Amino acid sequence: IHERKKQRSKKKQTLVEKEIENRDLKSDQQVVGDWERQNVTKKDWNLLKTYVHRYPTLKPTEQDTMTREVAEILLPKLGLEDGTKSEDELATRLYAAYIDLKEEWEFQL
């Protein structure tokens, strides 16, 4: 009698990973310059991280409001503000900044 091997289930994607995949973002894209990267404080990082983790669970109207508020605070500091008005584009930029800064900040903490 042979025992069946347990099939290894694929690691389930988190909501953040799904959102990043849906936005077609890659970790090798650098969007935040070195100068702006030095200006990011722990408070800024926590705001960005909280935004990215909460975004997928919010209703669309709440997503738009939260995106606009966080973008007004962080995008000028990150040098990513260029007058874009679309909430979806702002959210994509915030996610791109999150991916870019994640390795550095997760390592430091």
The Cα–Cα gap between 15 and 18 comes to 5
Residues contacting residue 57 through CB under 8 Å, at least 6 positions apart? 15
| pTM metric for this prediction | 0.78
Domain ranges of the chain: 46-109
- pLDDT cut 90: percent of the chain above it: 28
Query: Per residue in 72-93, pLDDT tens?
Result: 999 888 887 777 778 888 998 8
Which of helix, strand or coil describes residue 81?
Answer: coil
